[in-house]
């Protein structure tokens, strides 16, 4: 069976977006799983991002990981992240720095977590949970779009183009909303944490790799949706080739 590249192009973009979105969802659900692709990194009052031997929390969509900075070589100024443990995976996860701080025994007893930072995370808990819901809806929609494409390839007489297009649009819309929320968290929320944590030596940094993955998957779905629309409503409605004229009967 010969495949038309234009017809399967939406499925190709959807498959790549599916993998990228799964990476966004499941990053940090296990120790060292896609490390460095966190939504944001929170540095504790024990130090800052440029210090060595101090704690950090990498916040992901469904979990968080805790770790420390360790010097690469004795006497060197560079440091490397060492992830020690990760929390359990939750679909509607929201990071609570106070609980994470109390569960960690590496900090000194005289150190207290700044309440204003906990209030910031508490205020954004519904925002982060809604972002997770959008990612889950997006993954489900992409999965159904891929299933519709596979069924259409197996049963060539059955057309599932409209189903594929509908799920691609739903996935693109969901991931667009999730990516916008992630971008707001990356810039506005991180800036808020840095402003409120300036006096207590708490800082945060957004994950540029995560933003790259989520917007790449969103862009792929948008392109795939446009391509699917063209296949159905432009190419699909074009009249087919005219039948060849029958040869005139000889002897008339």
240 in a domain, yes or no? no
Residue 46 located in a structural domain: yes
CB atoms near residue 181 (< 10 Å): 20
Distance CA 224, CA 219 (A): 8
Query: What is the extent of the structural domain holding 178?
Result: 5-233
Determine, yes or no, domain membership for 87.
yes
Distance CA 139, CA 47 (A): 37
Phi-psi domain of 103 (left: phi exceeds 0; alpha: psi -120 through 50; beta: other): alpha
The answer to whether the CB of 62 falls within 8 A of the CB of 93 is yes
Residue 247 in any domain: the answer is no
Residue 252 lies in a domain: no
Global pTM reads 0.82
CB 86 within 8 A of CB 28: yes
In a domain, 160, yes or no: yes
Query: Which of 212, 184, 205, 224 shows the shortest CA–CA distance to 40?
Result: 205
What is the H or E stretch that residue 9 is in? helix 5-26
In contact, 29 and 39? CB cutoff 8 Å: no
Q: Which two tokens stand for residue 58?
A: 């990498």
Tens digits of pLDDT across the chain (252 residues):
455 677 789 999 999 999 999 999 998 888 877 877 889 999 886 644 444 448 889 999 999 998 887 766 554 455 677 888 888 888 888 898 888 877 665 555 555 678 888 888 998 889 999 999 999 999 999 999 999 888 877 876 556 678 889 999 999 999 999 999 999 999 999 999 999 888 788 889 999 999 999 999 999 999 999 998 888 887 655 554 445 555 544 444
In this prediction, residue 248 carries a pLDDT of 46
| Residue 135 forms part of a structural domain | yes
58 beta partners: 41, 65
Q: How many domains does the chain have?
A: 1
- Residue at 29 is within a domain: yes
């Amino acid at each position: 069976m010969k495949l038309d590249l234009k017809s399967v192009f939406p499925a190709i973009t959807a498959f790549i977006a599916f993998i990228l979105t799964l990476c966004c969802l499941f990053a940090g659900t296990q120790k060292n799983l896609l490390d460095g692709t966190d939504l944001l990194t929170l540095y504790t009052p024990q130090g800052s991002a440029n210090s060595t031997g101090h704690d950090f929390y990498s916040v992901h969509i469904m979990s968080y990981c805790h770790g420390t900075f360790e010097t690469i070589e004795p006497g060197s100024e560079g440091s490397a992240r060492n992830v020690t443990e990760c929390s359990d995976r939750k679909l509607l996860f929201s990071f609570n720095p106070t609980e994470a701080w109390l569960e960690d025994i590496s900090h000194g007893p005289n150190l207290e977590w700044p309440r204003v930072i906990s209030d910031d995370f508490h205020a954004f808990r519904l925002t982060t949970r809604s972002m997770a819901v959008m990612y889950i809806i997006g993954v489900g929609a992409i999965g159904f779009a891929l299933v519709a494409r596979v069924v259409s390839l197996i049963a060539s007489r059955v057309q599932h183009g409209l189903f594929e297009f509908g799920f691609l649009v739903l996935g693109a819309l969901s991931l667009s909303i999730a990516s916008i929320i992630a971008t707001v968290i990356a810039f506005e929320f991180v800036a808020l944490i840095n402003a409120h944590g300036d006096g207590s030596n708490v800082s945060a940094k957004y994950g540029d790799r995560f933003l790259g993955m989520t917007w790449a998957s969103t862009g792929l779905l948008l392109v795939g949706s446009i391509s699917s629309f063209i296949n159905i409503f432009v190419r699909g409605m074009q009249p087919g080739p005219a039948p060849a004229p029958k040869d005139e009967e000889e002897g008339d």
